[in-house]
Chains A and B, each alone.
Chain A
Amino acid sequence: MEFEAVIGLEVHVQLKTESKIFCSCSTQFGAPPNTHTCPVCLGMPGVLPVLNKKAVEYAMKMALATNCNINQTNVFARKHYFYPDLPKGYQISQYELPLAEDGWIEVETEAGKRRIRINRIHMEDDAGKLIHDELRPVSYVDLNRTGTPLIEIVSEPDIRTPEEAASYLKKIRQLVRYLKISDGNMEEGSLRCDANISLRPRGRKELGTKAELKNMNSFRHVQKALEYEIRRQSALLLDGTKIIQETRLYDASKGVTHSMRGKEEAHDYRYFPDPDLVPIKIDDTWLEQVRKSLPELPDAKMGRFMEEYGLPEYDAKVLTNSIELADYFEQAVRLYPKAKKVSNWIMVELLKLTKKDDHDLSKCNVTPQVLAELLSLIDKGTISNKIAKKVLEEVFEKGGSPSQIVEREGLAQVSDQSELSAIVEQVVQDNPKEVEKYRAGKKKVMGFFVGQVMRKTKGKANPQMVNELLRKLLDEN
């Protein structure tokens, strides 16, 4: 029997506000334990939370970018559970009236583009951090993270493969980074993902019993955990064993999932509207104001790059992967308008030099100005492509301007007719045997001659002129 996986993802995104969602403590990472806390985020009795307006606007941005309907009135609710990292004894979240509902995003899959629906996006506050002691049976509680604004993006169970899940997550990360509302970093926890997965015989409509997967800290983990879970569940189903609905933790070192077994018992969160927080009302004026503040989003930008610059789809996709890279490209094209050439140099040469997957060129020595200058030097015939690559590497490592480096290191191409002629004649004179071979019809020897000239000029001879001069001289007699 062939099974089909039904996967839904719950993604938590930490919003990059300066202060927490319900108090004025800093959200900065890495401070000594509990130094970013106050009576509100410590959960002391009698305090009142006051909502951070920017957190709401960041959440609205994501809701708009994912084609959601924003609820004109939305409210906060208390979600109760006891854990030492949650000093209030409840999380402030949204339940019945979340910020936004019914959205979708388009993701790349092996079978082409697919639309994954989004069930809802709601706001909530983050919990603190627990560090467990290695020796004593105690844990250390640090509440600096408590109250950091989060949005939770809940997908519909529209995802069918682990690859699609990774693709969906990457799209979410791309969007939050374009919107500049989060770092979107899974390893550091500013983007977190839980997955619900069940199997059903292919072609069947009813859903099977699902497992909830947690503790996946990278895109790879998500994919691996889902792959493992598909293998585990199909083996059970083929065996006629019932799947138990449960939460399972991913163990990255072994690549398997383990049952949490009763650790959190029934989900009995006893939600009720938070009486301390007044409803949020979003009128059209506010909504339009936020809509207008959205940047051009990745799909639209990619389309425009193909249209406006005549770039192939592949180039447009790579260049719009991050908003910083896209801006870099456009700045370079403004200074040097041959778009495809700029694109080639960024994709092939520059990205090769930068760290893999880190397309942030904002701190790179090779600024758009440098790249434009370098490409102009090639066009003017001052340097060859090959030398230009060397100059690029040099600027990338040490900084400086291409023309200065070319001048300082004497890298300018030798295009002087008489100078080149003399070298070519010398090379021909020094190698009578090769000349004979050439004249006997072994035209491949040409490469040898060109190589000799290049050696004598340290690669700076204008290759086109060398070829012409050699041919003239060798074909003479």
Chain B
Amino acid sequence: MAHITVEEVEHVAQLARLRFSKDELEEFTNQLDAILRFVGKLESLDTEGVEPTYRAIEIVNCFREDVVKPSLPIEEVTANAPESEEGAFVVPRII
């Protein structure tokens, strides 16, 4: 049966660059645990010999030809950016 620990939630939060308070961590752990338990019900089914389904459709080889089409106008590209300069997005420095 699925069961998630506070440590695991903390780890996932860290990977997602999110920081939570102790209370929040506890709350999310409970919520995630409930979700996992619910989904975990699927494990009661016998899936012996059944291939996993990764996609809703059963097609293969969906290609496009190597042809350039116009990109988005730069005003639209940066429209949602909190800060941009000469077309570049400006973000807090990460090194």
Candidates B14, B16, B64, B93; contact of A50 at CB < 8 Å: B64
Specify which chain B residues have a CB less than 8 angstroms from the CB of A26 in the assembled complex.
Answer: 68, 71
CB contacts (< 8 Å) of A277 on chain B: these are 62
Query: Which residues in A have their C-beta under 8 angstroms from that of B72?
Result: 37-39, 42
Q: How many residues of B contact A (CB 8 A)?
A: 36
Complex contact B92–A37 (CB within 8 A): no
Known: A42-B77, A131-B88. A56 touches B68 (CB 8 A): no
Q: Which of B67, B87, B93 contacts A35 (CB 8 A)?
A: B87
The 9 closest A-B pairs by CB, nearest first: A24-B69, A54-B66, A140-B88, A53-B63, A141-B89, A33-B87, A33-B88, A281-B60, A273-B54
Q: In the complex the two chains form, is B93's CB within 8 Å of A82's CB? A: no
Q: CA separation between A143 and B91, bound complex, in Å?
A: 13
Contact A24 B64 (CB under 8 A): yes
Taking beta carbons and an 8 Å cutoff, which residues of B are in contact with A?
11, 14-17, 54-57, 59-69, 71-72, 74, 77-78, 85-95
Secondary structure type dominating chain A contacts? loop
Q: Does A403 contact B (CB under 8 A)?
A: no
A53 touches B15 (CB 8 A): no
Q: Would A281 and B61 count as touching, CB distance under 8 A? A: yes
Verify B71–A35 contact, CB threshold 8 A. Answer: yes
List A contacts of B92 (CB < 8 A): 137-139
Chain A residues with CB under 8 Å of chain B are 17-19, 24-26, 32-39, 42, 50-56, 73, 75, 80-84, 130-133, 136-143, 265, 268, 270, 273, 275, 277-281
With contacts A55-B66, A82-B16, A139-B94 taken as known, whether A280 is within 8 angstroms of B60 at the C-beta atoms is yes
Q: Judging by beta carbons under 8 Å apart, are A280 and B89 in contact?
A: no
CB-CB nearest in chain A for B65: A53
List 8 A-B pairs, Cβ < 8 Å: A19-B67, A19-B69, A24-B67, A34-B88, A36-B71, A52-B66, A138-B90, A143-B89
Given A24-B68, A36-B71, A275-B54: A139 touches B93 (CB 8 Å cut-off): yes
Report B-chain residues with C-beta under 8 Å of the C-beta of A275: 54-56
**Known contacts A36-B71, A37-B72, A82-B16; A140 and B90 CB within 8 A of each other:** yes
Contact, CB under 8 Å: B93 / A137: yes
A228 CA to B19 CA, complexed, in Å: 39
Q: How far is the CA of A151 from the CA of B88 in the complex (A)?
A: 27
In Å, the complex CA distance between A258 and B59 comes to 48
> In the complex, A34 Cα to B74 Cα: how many Å?
7
Tell me the smallest distance from the CB of B53 to a CB of chain A, in Å. 10
A278 touches B78 (CB 8 A): no
CB distance B62 to A25 under 8 Å? no
List 18 extra interface pairs beyond A17-B66, A82-B16, A275-B55, CB under 8 A.
A24-B69, A33-B88, A38-B71, A50-B63, A51-B63, A53-B66, A133-B93, A137-B92, A137-B93, A140-B88, A141-B88, A268-B11, A270-B15, A273-B54, A275-B54, A278-B57, A279-B60, A280-B60
Q: In the docked arrangement, what's the CA distance between A83 and B15, Å?
A: 11
Q: Which residues of B contact A39 (CB under 8 A)?
A: 72
CB distance from A465 to the nearest CB of B (A): 63
Chain B residue with minimal CB distance to A51? Answer: B63
Name the one of A33, A73, A80, A142 contacting B15, with C-beta atoms under 8 angstroms: A80
Contact partners of A51 in chain B: CB under 8 A: 62-64
- Docked-complex contact A140 and B85, CB < 8 angstroms: yes
Residue of A nearest to B15 (CB): A268
Distance (whole angstroms) from the CB of A140 to the closest CB of chain B: 4
Q: Which one, A18, A138, A278, contacts B61 given CB within 8 A?
A: A278
A83–B92 alpha-carbon span in the complex (Å):
11
Least CB separation from A281: chain B residue: B60
Q: How far is the CB of A51 from chain B (nearest CB, A)?
A: 5
With a cutoff of 8 Å between Cβ atoms, the chain B residues found around residue A75 in the complex are: 54
Q: How far is the CB of A191 from chain B (nearest CB, A)?
A: 21
Q: Which residue of B lies closest to A272 (CB)?
A: B54
Task: Collect the chain B residues with CB atoms within 8 Å of residue A265's CB.
Answer: 14
**In the complex, what residues of B have CB within 8 A of residue A82's CB?**
15-17
Q: Which A residues are CB-close (under 8 A) to B68?
A: 18-19, 24-26
Please measure, in the bound complex, the distance between the C-alpha atom of A377 and the C-alpha atom of B77, giving whole angstroms. 63
